[in-house]
Amino acid sequence: MENLQLIIPELFISIMIMFLLIFGVFKKNSSQLVYNLTTVSLVAALALIINLDTQIQSSLFNNSYNIDSLAKFMKILLILSGIFVMLSSSKYVQISKINKIEYPILILCSILGMMVMISSNDLIVFYMGLELQSLALYVLASFNRDNLLSTESGLKYFVLSALSSGLLLYGCSLIYGFSETTNFNQIMINTKEIEYGLTFGIVFILVGLAFKISAVPFHMWAPDVYQGSPTSVTVFFALLPKIAALTVFIRFLYIPFYELGDQWQMIIIFLSIASMVFGAVAAIGQKNLKRLIAYSSISHMGYALAGLSTGTTQGVQSSITYITIYLVMNLAFFSCLFMLKRNDEYYENIDDLSGLSKNHPLLSLSLLVVLFSLAGIPPLAGFFAKFYIFVAVINEKMYFLAIVGLLATVIAAFYYLRIIKIIYFDPEKEKFESKHNLGLKFTLVASTFFILAYFIYPSGIVDIISQININ
Amino acid sequence: MNFPILSSLILLPTIGALFIFFVRSSNSQYQSSKYVALFITLANFFLSLYLWIVFDKSIVNFQFVEEREWISGFVNYKVGVDGISILFILLTTFIIPICVITVNSTIKNRLKDFLIAILILETFMIGVFCSLDLVVFYLFFEAGLIPMFLIIGIWGGERRVYSAFKFFLYTLLGSVLMLVAIISIYWITGTTDVIKLYDLGIEAKYQNLLWLAFFSSFAVKTPMWPVHTWLPDAHVEAPTAGSVLLAAILLKMAGYGFIRFSLGLFPDASLYFVPLVYTLSLIAIIYTSLVALMQEDMKKLIAYSSVAHMGFVTLGIFTMTQQGIEGSIFQMISHGLVSAALFLCVGVVYDRLHTRLINRYGGLVSIMPKYAIVFMVFTLGALGLPGTSGFIGEFLVLMGAFKKNILVATIASLGVILGAAYMLWLYKRIIFGKLINEDVKKMVDLKRFEIVTLWLLVLPIIFFGFYPEPLINSIEVSVANMIDINDLDKINKLALGE
């Protein structure tokens, strides 16, 4: 008999999905209630996960499901981001009339899929989790179905994602063919010798994963989907799938194919450099804030991949730190975006920010902090994120990667500065509403404070992450 | 000494900034926030003065060292001062209150934000001068970009956006390579602690590349020819207080960095690159002096003269002699005072006539005699007349240079003549000549707060011109030690074939 206690959080969320679905169908006009219940159940799931004891690495179902310190940390990140996304976007969901009961339930489904991905130690389980989260995301992207852009983004995401899933599945089958197993640990044992088929398998799977975290050259969907989806879904896109995909990246590269590092290292380095540079250059001409943040997140994923490409524990830890800080920065950015509201209409063009600092000094200050942090200027959190990455990269003597990465930050600094210029140097426009709900305010204040005050005690997060066991 | 005096120096302005930030803003309270800022900065000045008094000038080691764990197992927050850095701290805390006083006339909108920016900037600048860890240094060095970017961008002139961007991106581009170098140093030696690095030394085979990486950052910040072009733009567009800060303190970070890091950590590489630095410095001295001669805009002229003066500084540092380095430090302090004063002088007339074009003025001596006097002192200080602080610095630098390379020293001396030419010509065109323009005739002489700020700068310029002992005294031991530790003398002699 398996020890099901270890997957109580997953079980809990599954039960909540079914319960909320039935509850929502039978109770009229319960969409807001379901939304709040979803948030509450996420908090409960968070408590359950924190309660898990991961001192001893344990696995379930024939070693295909791993509950270890990596899974625990990533799930905490995942659920926490989920809670903050729910808190900050509740008003937006109401106003843009997408507060149907399905909306929070789909989010829960997607989170469940991601949890499965994070814990997976087997190609089949991993694929199952991936599809669960993707299916929910297709619907979410086109949730604002009367909006042309939204439906377009949903369809686009579906077609391209299906293609990448196909590639990924093909890679899985190749690996299965050459190693006679789907279990990660078993693959490691069975693949001591390099075979071409195996390399092809790795490449196909990496392509599929690169698509999920929108690394160049598999990024094409990101700008359109970010822009077209409702903002509350965009923030979800920007945060949660990245956590799950990065964890799978780590597991996939560092458990079954750790020995074959020279096979995949060049690929990751290429993905990393291409994403950093392309993300930085392409964002310069953007006019829409959501589109801009899509390119910016492409660039940020490049840095996270740079940490992974080192092939060392330190590199992985730096990537995890990077993604943690990235989440907070993006959360803060989107919270600011949610505040640009006037007469029940949300504004998302860069020009709408013109002269914001005169009417909304506090909001502009938060944006200033967030943008400088995204640009990686010390002493803000974003600088430390990049710093850890480069420490790991330079330790491996990968100077080229480090220098390209740092030059890309200078290019990227340009478009962040451009937003700051519009906020602070340009003439003012009409005021936005200054009343916001508590959850949104709390999200913004907490995340901005984290970014600002990170330098006072930078060891905290690093210490936690350094305890994560990868192999 | 248990009281963390350096950390208080660093933190006090930020606390002041927070205080101003949280005081509710309304027009009537603008003044009160100014007094808060003035109070805080003055307190900081007296604190640093106290530091200078209790500082033991005969000891070689860093003093008032504080160390705390920061990024666990990797970087420690470590600050401390020696005879060199303490002067720069003093310069910073002395110039900032003067900037705060000047905001009266120059800053028309968002006074509160401006004061916050200046106070935050002070924190970072003091941090740069007393950090004893490379990462901490980098952090403060880079962080200063944020407030300066805002100061130029929000309160600047017409082309402020262009200038602010140019300033930010140039400096950022320069310093990213330094970050790579700092991390590399960590992996080569296992520490980023400057004192430990002085003891350990860095293997010669790594030094050249690391030196170049640091150089790329400091050269942009100094600024050295050919990466100086951001400076005239930034100076011209920045508000008066911004120009003062930029010229008086921000530029000195690079000179300080050259001494503390380039010379201190990479002595072999420094020697190797001496010809490069000499060449760039000489071009800076001669070329930018010539450019300064042709300027129509007062601020631009002074900006180019800054580049030329900083050329002397880099030249002096890389003579690697006692006189040369002492002269450079002296020149930096003196230039900090003089250029600050000159920008204030420009600010004075700009506030009255709202133009910086030199030919719009003329004949000011008959209507603004008080102004003519202080401006005279600063002009003479800038051209290095004996009896002003400018002379001591240039003289020592040239002395060091003559010891090493007579040709270089001779060319550099030409720069002194050119300096006299453009400064005196500027003075002539503004102060003397016929009073033609009607609006110039209406200009009033210095107001009380202007007299106070300008005379506060006149005093040290003349005092240190006649009696440089206190400054020289303070840096002597540290410079000698720096030369000693790194066997610069020995390396020099080897290179000269003695």
Tokens, residue B109: 């909108």
pLDDT band of residue B46 (cuts 50, 70, 90) is very high
Whether residue B492 has pLDDT greater than 70:
no
How far, in Å, are A15, A92, A226, B212 from residue A86 at the CA level? 19, 10, 17, 49
Phi and psi at residue A341, to the nearest 5°: -125, 135
Q: Which candidate in B180, B187, B189, B237 is best for mutational testing of the A interface (most A CBs within 10 A)?
A: B180
Higher pLDDT, B53 or B30: B53
pLDDT band of residue A334 (cuts 50, 70, 90) is very high
Nearest to B378 by CA among B330, B431, B445: B431
CA distance A264 to A243: 21
| Count of helices and strands (H, E) across chain B | 25, 2
Q: Tell me if B143 and A379 make a contact (CB, 8 A cut-off).
A: yes
Residues of B in contact with A399 (CB under 8 A): 180, 184
CA distance A93 to A140: 12
Q: A91 CA to chain B: closest CA distance, Å?
A: 29
The SS3 assignment for B65 reads strand
Q: Which of A377, A384, A391 sits opposite B146 (nearest CB)?
A: A377
pLDDT value at residue B486: 67
Nearest to B312 by CA among B387, B418, B214: B418
Residues of A in contact with B180 (CB under 8 A): 390, 394, 399, 402-403, 406
Q: Which candidate in B11, B124, B146, B187 is best for mutational testing of the A interface (most A CBs within 10 A)?
A: B146
Q: Which residues contact A303 (CB under 8 A, 6 or more apart)?
A: A272, A276, A322, A385, A386, A389, A405
Q: Tell me if B177 and A406 make a contact (CB, 8 A cut-off).
A: yes
pLDDT value at residue B498: 45
Per-chain mean pLDDT for chain A: 88
CA distance A271 to B437: 65
Pairing state of beta strands A341-342 and A345-346? antiparallel
Higher pLDDT, A56 or A269: A269
Query: Taking the CB of residue B264, how many other CB atoms lie within 10 A of it?
Result: 18
Higher pLDDT, A463 or B92: B92
pLDDT band of residue B442 (cuts 50, 70, 90) is confident
Q: Which residue of A has its CA nearest to B145?
A: A377
Pairing state of beta strands A65-67 and A58-60? antiparallel
Per-chain mean pLDDT for chain B: 86
> For tokens 């943040």, what's the residue?
A293
Q: Tell me if A394 and B180 make a contact (CB, 8 A cut-off).
A: yes
Residues of B in contact with A409 (CB under 8 A): 172, 176
Q: A379 CA to chain B: closest CA distance, Å?
A: 6
pLDDT value at residue A114: 93
Tell me, yes or no, if B17 comes closer than 8 A to chain A by beta carbon. Answer: no
pLDDT digits (tens, 9 = 90+) for A429-465: 888 888 888 888 999 999 999 999 998 888 888 888 8
pLDDT digits (tens, 9 = 90+) for A11-40: 999 999 999 999 988 888 888 888 899 999
Q: Which of A402, A424, A455 sits opposite B150 (nearest CB)?
A: A424
Tell me, yes or no, if A400 comes closer than 8 A to chain B by beta carbon. Answer: no
Tell me, yes or no, if B172 comes closer than 8 A to chain A by beta carbon. Answer: yes
What's the whole-number mean pLDDT along residues B81-105? 87
pLDDT value at residue B82: 87
Residues of B in contact with A463 (CB under 8 A): 72
pLDDT value at residue A18: 93
Whether residue B27 has pLDDT greater than 60:
no
pLDDT value at residue A301: 92
pLDDT value at residue B489: 59
Whether residue B477 has pLDDT greater than 60:
yes
Whether residue A415 has pLDDT greater than 60:
yes
pLDDT digits (tens, 9 = 90+) for A277-328: 999 999 888 889 999 999 999 999 999 999 988 888 888 999 999 999 999 9
Tell me, yes or no, if B164 comes closer than 8 A to chain A by beta carbon. Answer: yes
What's the whole-number mean pLDDT along residues B188-205? 84
Whether residue A329 has pLDDT greater than 90:
yes
- Asked casually if ipTM beats, i.e. exceeds, 0.85, the reply is yes
Q: Tell me if A394 and B184 make a contact (CB, 8 A cut-off).
A: yes
